[in-house]
Structure 1
Amino acid sequence: MVSHNMTWMKYPSQSRDSFTSFEDIIFSQHVISRFMHCYITLFVPTGLLAGIVILGILIKNHMQRTNEKLDIMLFAHTISNMLMILLSLTIITRPAYLKVSYFECGTLSFFFNLNYFSSQYLLVLMVLSFFLYRHPPQNALISKAHQNPMVSVAFALICAFCATLIVVALLGMENYHEETDCQLDPLFAWPEYEIIKFTFGFCIPSLAKLLCFILMFVKKVQPEIHPSRYNIHPYLTVLVITITMFVCRLFYNSMILSRTSLKIQRIIGTPQNELTMNIAEILLFSESCVSLVIILCLHKPCRIGLLNVITNLTKVCRRRHASNSPLEIVETRAEVSSGPSENGSH
C-alpha cells in the first residue's frame, strides 16, 4: 500500500541528494529555460492571436446565420485552448517553480484539468459527429442530441467537469495554507491522480476516437445520405487536430506515468526525469497553440474569414497610400515651379 502523504516528494533540482550531480542540474535547468523562452516568445503570441481571429470570425458568422454545427464545437474548443494557453503562463518562472499555497495550487490544477478534459472530450464529440453524420443513429434520443450541437457541447463540458472533480479530489492536500512549489499537475498529488487522469483524459478518449475513425473507414458511405453536402475540409481539420493532440499528449502522459512509478517506488528521480517532464508539459501547451493555427488555416470558414480580413487591410493601406499620393505630387510640382524663379533671382 503506497502512502498517500506525498510531501516527501521533491524536485531533483531542489533536493540535497549527494548522488545528484550539480552539473546535471545546471544542464537540466538551462535546457528547461531555453524551452520556456521559446514557447513564451513564439507559441503563446501566435496561439492567442489565432484564437482571437477564430472567435471573431465564428461570432461574425453566427450573427450572419452562416454557422454550421462544427463551428459551435470549434468555438468551445478554441475557448478551451485559449484558457489553456493563459494558464500555461505559470511556467514563466522556470526553471524555478511557482511559489503558492497548496490550496492555490489545487485551484490552478482544477482549471487546468477542466480545460485539459474539455478539449479532449470536445474533439471526441467532433469525431463522433462525423461518424453519426455518415451513419445516422437509430436511437431517437441520440439523434436529437446529434442535431442540437449546443446540447452535445454542454454534455461534453459536464463530463469534463465531473472528470476534473474526480482528479482534483486525488490531490490529497495537507496543510493547504502552507507554501509549496506548484506545477499544474502538482508533484504532491497521489499516485491515483496520474492513473485516473491517464485513463479518463487520454486512454478512453483516444480509443473512442480511434474506434470512430476505424468504423468510418471500414463502413461504406451510404449514397442516399446528403451526398452533395458532405465536405472533406471539416473532416481533414478534425483529423489533423486529432493526430497533433495524440502525439503531444502521448508523450505527456508517458511522463506522468513515469512520475507515478517513481512515487510508488518512493524515489525522487534524477534531473533528467525533471527535464523530460518539463519538456512534456511545454509540448502539451504548444499543442494548444498549434491546434488553433490548424483551425485557422484548414477550417474553410475561418480560412475565408482570414483572407477577407487580409484583403480588407490591404485595401485600406492602398487607399491611404492613394490619398497621400496627390499631396506628394502637389508638393513636388510646387518645388519644381519655385526652382526657376529662385535661379532667376540670382
Structure 2
Amino acid sequence: MMISHNMTWIRYPSHSFDPSIRIEDLIVSQNVISRFMHCYIAFFVPTGLIAGIFILTIFIKNYLRHSGLEKLDIFLFYFTISNIVMIFFSFTVITRPDYLMATQLGCGALSFFFNVSYFSSQYLLILMLLAFLFNRFPPRTVLMTKATQSPMLCVGFVLTCAFCISLVVVALLGTDNYHKETDCQLDPLFAWPEYEIIKFSFGFGIPLFFQILCFILFFVKEAQPEAPTQRENIQAYLAVLTITVTMFVCRLFYNSMILSRTTLKIHKSIGTPKNELMMNIAEIVLFSENCISLIFILCLHKPCQAGILKILMNLTKELVYVGISLNQNKKSNTY
C-alpha cells in the first residue's frame, strides 16, 4: 500500500538535521559528486554539443542537396535534437553538490520539458529499430505499410506520446505547496512514489520490452533461408545497435536508482549520504549517455562520416590557403 501523498517530510540527507548522519560521510559524498559534475561539464558537454552540431549541420546540408532525407536519417535528426535538449537540461547539475533552487511549480515545469525529451529519445530509438526491421522485412498489412512510408507521421506520433506521458508523470508531483521554494532536480525529490514507478514503466520497462522484441524478430527472420542478403546497411545497424546498448546500460543504472528512491519513500526514509551520492552519479551518467550517443552517431553513421570528412577537408584547404597568403605577405614585406 502506498504511503500518504503528503511529501513535506522528505529531505535530502545533506540538507537534513538527522543526528545519525555523520559529517564525514556527507563531506566525502559531496566531494565525489562535485568531481563527477566537473568531469561531465568539462569533457562530455563540449564533446556532445560539438558532435550534435556537426550531425545537424550534415543532415541539413544533405536535405538541401537531395531535397530530402532517408528514413533513418530523419529519425536520427530528431533523436539528435532530443539529445541536445537533454544536454542543455543537464546544466542544472552545475550547482552540485548543492541543488537548483526553484518553486515547486517551476521545478514541475522544468521536469515536464525534461521528461518530453527523455521519453521521446527512448521512443525514437524504437522507431529506428522498427525501421530496420520493416526495411529488411516489409510488413504485410496496409496500415503498417503506410505508416512505414511516412516517417514524419511516425515522429509526430512519438512526440505526441512523449508529451502525453510527460503530462501524466508531472501530474504526480502534486499540487500542494506549489508556490514554495525547494531544492530542484529534474526528477523532483518531492514527487509522489507513483512518479518514479510510472517513469520506470513508460521510460524504461515498456520500451525495453519492445526493443528486445524487435531484436528477436530481426534475428529470427534473419535466420530464415529465404531472408534477403543485404550488406550495405551493416554500418547503420552497428550505429543503432551501439546507441541501443549505451542507452540500455546508462538508463538501467539511472532507473535502478529511481526505484531505490521510491523504496525509501514508501518506507518514509530520507536515506543516507550514499543513497544521495548514487542518485547524483546516476543522473550524471544519464546525461553522459546523451553525449556518448551523439559521438557514436557521428563516428559510425555513414552519411555523418562522409560529412565530417568533407568539413575537415574544407577546413584544411582554408588553413592551407591562409598559410600561403601569410607567407606571400611576409615575402612582399621583406622586399
- Normalising by structure 2, report the TM-score: 0.96
Residue 72 of structure 1 is matched in structure 2 by 74
Does structure 2 conserve the Cα–Cα contact (< 8 Å) formed by 1:99 and 1:179? yes
Distance 2:230 2:242 in 1: 23
The DSSP-based 3-state class of the residue aligned with 1:275 is helix
Does structure 1 conserve the Cα–Cα contact (< 8 Å) formed by 2:54 and 2:308? yes
Per-residue displacement from partner, 1:225-268 (whole Å, max 9, x unpaired)? Answer: 87568411111110000000000000000000000000000011
The DSSP-based 3-state class of the residue aligned with 2:140 is coil
CA RMSD of aligned residues (A): 1.5
Does structure 1 conserve the Cα–Cα contact (< 8 Å) formed by 2:119 and 2:162? yes
Once the two structures are TM-superposed, the CA of residue 328 in structure 1 deviates from its matched residue by 3.0
Residue 117 of structure 1 is matched in structure 2 by 119
Per-residue displacement from partner, 1:98-128 (whole Å, max 9, x unpaired)? Answer: 1100000000000111100000000011001
Distance 2:158 2:36 in 1: 33
Does structure 1 conserve the Cα–Cα contact (< 8 Å) formed by 2:221 and 2:227? no
Distance 1:221 1:63 in 2: 39
The DSSP-based 3-state class of the residue aligned with 1:189 is coil
**Counterpart amino acid of 1:322?**
I
Per-residue displacement from partner, 1:78-106 (whole Å, max 9, x unpaired)? Answer: 00000000011011111111110000000
Residue 95 of structure 2 is matched in structure 1 by 93
Distance 1:142 1:230 in 2: 24
Written as runs of structure 1 = structure 2, the 5 A alignment for 1:1-346 is: 1=1, 2-65=3-66, 67-220=69-222, 227=229, 230-332=232-334, 334=335
Does structure 2 conserve the Cα–Cα contact (< 8 Å) formed by 1:12 and 1:269? yes
Does structure 1 conserve the Cα–Cα contact (< 8 Å) formed by 2:200 and 2:255? yes
Once the two structures are TM-superposed, the CA of residue 215 in structure 1 deviates from its matched residue by 1.5
Per-residue displacement from partner, 1:153-180 (whole Å, max 9, x unpaired)? Answer: 1111111111111111111131211101
**Counterpart amino acid of 2:51?**
A
The DSSP-based 3-state class of the residue aligned with 2:182 is strand
- Normalising by structure 1, report the TM-score: 0.93
Once the two structures are TM-superposed, the CA of residue 221 in structure 1 deviates from its matched residue by 6.5
**Counterpart amino acid of 1:70?**
L
Once the two structures are TM-superposed, the CA of residue 134 in structure 1 deviates from its matched residue by 1.5
The DSSP-based 3-state class of the residue aligned with 1:219 is helix
Quick one: structure 1 residues 196 and 228, their matched pair in 2 at CA, closer, same or farther if it must change by over 3 Å?
Answer: closer
Does structure 2 conserve the Cα–Cα contact (< 8 Å) formed by 1:134 and 1:221? no
Residue 339 of structure 1 is matched in structure 2 by none
Unaligned runs of 5+ in 1: 335-346
Per-residue displacement from partner, 1:23-46 (whole Å, max 9, x unpaired)? Answer: 000110111011111111111111
Distance 1:87 1:254 in 2: 21
Distance 2:16 2:230 in 1: 63
In our comparison, the structure showing a higher alpha carbon Rg is 1
Unaligned runs of 5+ in 2: none
Distance 2:25 2:332 in 1: 69
Once the two structures are TM-superposed, the CA of residue 223 in structure 1 deviates from its matched residue by 8.4
The DSSP-based 3-state class of the residue aligned with 2:222 is coil
